[in-house]
Amino acid sequence: MLSHTPVLHQTENHLTNPAIPWRRLGSVTWNQVQASLDAIPGPLWTNGHSTTYGRNDKVPQVLLPAIADSLKLVSADAFTVHVAIEPGFQGAPPRRRVRGSFTLNGYPYTLAITDQPLANVYLQQMNGNYNIGPATLCISLSEPEYGYAYKLVAAVLTPYRCGA
């Protein structure tokens, strides 16, 4: 890492050295993932704002100064992947999207999935709902765009994906 480069609520950001390639040094076990969960007593950051196809999936930009981080590792007892064609935003052409639904502390969420290996698997399937079951999710809060930061499923971890 060259330097710590926080931007707004994304306090975890770091600048990496492009001259040094990344390499895998190992992997984590399912038990290690479970031991790393964030304690979240209430909603993910703030709720009450949703996109057309999401649920509790965005945070108004005006609320971002009060948010101290942009990554959470949470456990979902029942995670479902949804694949559907959605109309494009502001007149863009329709496209197939992959979203994930889960409940955390009694709050429902439907968020876009940016875990590209997982999304690619489901984009090969028919449109529909796919029950994953228990999963650990890395939730990210994006940079603001169109007046909102968006909650995203950045990674979906299961015992199978951790090699357990």
Count of domains observed in the chain:
1
If pLDDT is split at 50, 70 and 90, which confidence band does 102 have?
A: very high
**Is 17 inside a domain boundary?**
no
**Is 52 inside a domain boundary?**
yes
pLDDT at 14: 59
Burial 109-144 (b: 16+ CB within 10 A, else e): bbbbbbbeebbeebeeeeeeeeebeebbbbbbbbeb
**Is 21 inside a domain boundary?**
no
End-to-end CA distance of the chain: 30
Give SS3 for 48.
Answer: coil
**Is 40 inside a domain boundary?**
yes
Tell me the torsion sign for CA atoms 17, 20, 22, 24: negative
**Is 104 inside a domain boundary?**
yes
The count of other CB atoms within 10 Å of the CB of residue 161 is 16
pLDDT at 17: 80
Overall pTM surpassing 0.85 (yes/no): yes
